[in-house]
């Protein structure tokens, strides 16, 4: 019993160190962290902490320093403490401390409780499902979990003993191996709690971003529950230890912040924070860099189409998220080159038109498939139709371009996939849900803009419990 308590304490300390580290970096990256809501700060602190720590572990390997908790945590925590002792850090901590002491009472109504209850049920199932079962899903065993075990055992980023897509970025394996160091043992069931945690932070971020878009608390909570409890894919990814949920988290963060920036409703430092998210995307999964690049492309196209004031200058400002993408992509790429790791040799060998035709059918079927994401994508299609001309005349075009462009990219990716005709349907079945998961939270954000129109209609009817949240800022 005491041993179990100590293990749990070690896990909590390990996770707490990630939040602490990320929070300190937030004070460096953004002028005033309190411009972001508590949920946003928690989500971005965790994302930044994970990113910084795993990149540091990569640097340790490059420097030939064997992994050990003192080296993994010591220097980053010392730097974090220094950041928090600097004037900006001290101010952020002071403001947060004051805010903790004066907490406004939130009065939830019936709908709020219903949505919160539904979300609670999801995590009441997913958290023990993650923490009490060992790693068993294919990619978790074959790739992410296996590498984490190896990194822990070899005390470094050593890929000489396996051949498991060695060119894949290593944020997840390094994070899991860090947790093994924190736990003092390989405990692949307990370390999996980061996935429901990540899912909860993703949902918190979505709620908060939806509130910023002007949704009432009820609608924002409803949208969050609508994402979590629509289809089985999101729930399953809360406990199977795949890299897709973290990628979806970083994608939502990046897309949400860039959207707010385009809409002129972003808190100061949002673009820098979006750079952090894009770095996370690139370092998280092989699909991350192209996904991050399409975020920047969609933002550039939106600026060029809408031509807001000083749009050329704003185009130049997109170099900030671009720098984040490079910062997340380059270290691993240089490491792979140094270690002579072959990059992406199993992709693109030709273009197969018949696969493209099939892929269009599978994609459309997947979007409408209740098992994947329930009615979220059909609801989004409806919202886009109802948006009419507003889609082309507002920054929501950015989100639509990103989501639509990536749906096209999925079709193209299947058209060049080197599989046999007989294997192709199984190949699509094994990958489509995950590719859609990367985009679905952003699709939910786009749906939030549609919901805002409905909210306005409801507000006209003066229904109770439908007041906009204090943090909301209207889309210009």
Please report, as ranges, the residues that interact with another protein according to CB under 8 A. 118, 125, 128-129, 132-135, 138, 141-142, 145-146, 149-150, 153-154, 158, 160-162, 164, 187, 189-190, 226, 229-232, 235, 370, 374-375, 378-379, 382, 386, 453-454, 457-458, 460-461
Q: Dihedrals φ, ψ of 302, to 5°?
A: -65, -45
Least distance between another protein and beta carbon 66 (Å): 13
Least distance between another protein and beta carbon 374 (Å): 4
Least distance between another protein and beta carbon 299 (Å): 29
Nearer to another protein, 78 or 161 (CB): 161
Least distance between another protein and beta carbon 440 (Å): 14
Least distance between another protein and beta carbon 57 (Å): 16
Do 216 and 467 touch, CB atoms closer than 8 A? yes
> Helix or strand or coil: residue 216?
strand
Nearer to another protein, 17 or 446 (CB): 446
Give CA–CA dist 228/425, Å, rounded: 27
Nearer to another protein, 138 or 392 (CB): 138
> Helix or strand or coil: residue 468?
strand
Residues 6 or more apart whose Cβ sits within 8 Å of residue 332: 58, 169, 170, 283
Least distance between another protein and beta carbon 179 (Å): 15
Give CA–CA dist 431/425, Å, rounded: 10
Nearer to another protein, 243 or 279 (CB): 243
Angle, helices 217-228/376-387, rounded to nearest 10 degrees: 140
Residue 216, beta-bridge partner list:
468
Least distance between another protein and beta carbon 3 (Å): 13
Give CA–CA dist 285/396, Å, rounded: 26
Burial class (CB in 10 A: 0-12, 13-18, 19+), 355: buried
Least distance between another protein and beta carbon 152 (Å): 9
Among 64, 88, 84, 87, CA closest to 76: 84
Least distance between another protein and beta carbon 375 (Å): 5
Least distance between another protein and beta carbon 457 (Å): 5
> Helix or strand or coil: residue 387?
helix
Nearer to another protein, 401 or 444 (CB): 444
Angle, helices 194-212/171-183, rounded to nearest 10 degrees: 120
Nearer to another protein, 318 or 380 (CB): 380
Nearer to another protein, 13 or 132 (CB): 132
Residue 468, beta-bridge partner list:
216
Among 243, 241, 238, CA closest to 169: 243
Burial class (CB in 10 A: 0-12, 13-18, 19+), 419: middle
Helix (H) or strand (E) holding 428: helix 424-460
Give CA–CA dist 109/267, Å, rounded: 29
Instruction: Record the tokens describing residue 197, joined without a space.
Output: 């945690």
Nearer to another protein, 40 or 112 (CB): 112
- Positive or negative torsion for Cα 315, 320, 323, 328: negative
Nearer to another protein, 85 or 121 (CB): 121
Nearer to another protein, 141 or 360 (CB): 141
Question: Around Cβ 50, how many Cβ atoms within 10 Å?
Answer: 27
């Amino acid at each position: 019993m005491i041993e179990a308590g100590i293990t749990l304490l070690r896990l909590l300390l390990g996770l707490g160190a990630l939040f602490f580290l990320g929070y300190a970096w937030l004070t460096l990256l953004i002028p005033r962290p309190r411009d972001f809501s508590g949920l946003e700060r928690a989500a971005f602190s965790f994302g930044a902490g994970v990113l910084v720590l795993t990149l540091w572990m990569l640097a340790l390997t490059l420097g030939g320093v064997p992994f050990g908790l003192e080296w993994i945590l010591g220097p980053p925590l010392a730097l974090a403490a220094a950041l928090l002792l600097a004037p900006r850090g001290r101010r952020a901590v002071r403001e947060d401390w004051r805010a903790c002491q004066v907490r406004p009472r939130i009065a939830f109504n019936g709908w709020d409780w219903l949505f919160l209850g539904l979300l609670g049920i999801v995590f009441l199932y997913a958290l023990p499902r993650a923490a009490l079962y060992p790693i068993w899903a294919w990619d978790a065993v074959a790739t992410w979990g296996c590498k984490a075990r190896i990194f822990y055992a070899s005390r470094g980023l050593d890929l000489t003993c396996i051949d498991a897509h060695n060119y894949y970025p290593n944020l997840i394996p390094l994070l899991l191996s860090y947790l093994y160091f924190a736990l003092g043992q390989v405990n692949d069931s307990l370390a999996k709690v980061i996935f429901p945690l990540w899912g909860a932070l993703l949902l918190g971020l979505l709620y908060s971003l939806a509130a910023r878009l002007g949704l009432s608390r009820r609608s924002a909570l409803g949208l969050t529950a609508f994402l979590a409890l629509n289809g089985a894919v999101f729930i399953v990814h809360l406990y199977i230890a795949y890299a897709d949920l973290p990628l979806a988290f970083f994608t939502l963060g990046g897309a949400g912040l860039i959207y707010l920036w385009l809409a002129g409703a972003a808190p100061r430092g949002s673009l820098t924070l979006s750079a952090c998210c894009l770095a996370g995307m690139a370092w998280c999964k092989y699909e991350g860099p192209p996904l991050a690049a399409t975020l920047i492309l969609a933002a550039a196209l939106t600026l060029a189409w809408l031509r807001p004031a000083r749009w050329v200058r704003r185009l130049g400002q997109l170099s900030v998220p671009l720098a984040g993408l490079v910062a997340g992509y380059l270290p691993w790429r240089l490491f792979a080159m140094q270690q002579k790791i072959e990059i992406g040799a199993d992709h693109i060998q030709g273009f197969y038109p018949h696969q493209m035709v099939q892929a269009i059918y599978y994609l459309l079927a997947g979007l409408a498939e209740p098992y994947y994401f329930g009615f979220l994508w059909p609801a989004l299609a409806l919202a886009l139709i109802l948006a009419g001309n507003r889609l082309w005349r507002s920054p929501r075009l950015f989100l639509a371009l990103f989501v639509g462009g990536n749906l096209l990219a999925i079709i193209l990716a299947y058209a060049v996939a080197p599989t046999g005709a007989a294997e192709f349907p199984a190949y699509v079945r094994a990958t489509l849900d995950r590719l859609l998961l990367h985009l679905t939270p952003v699709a939910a954000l786009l749906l939030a803009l549609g919901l805002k129109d409905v909210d306005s209609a409801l507000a006209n009817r003066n229904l109770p419990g439908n007041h906009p949240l204090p943090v909301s800022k209207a889309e210009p």
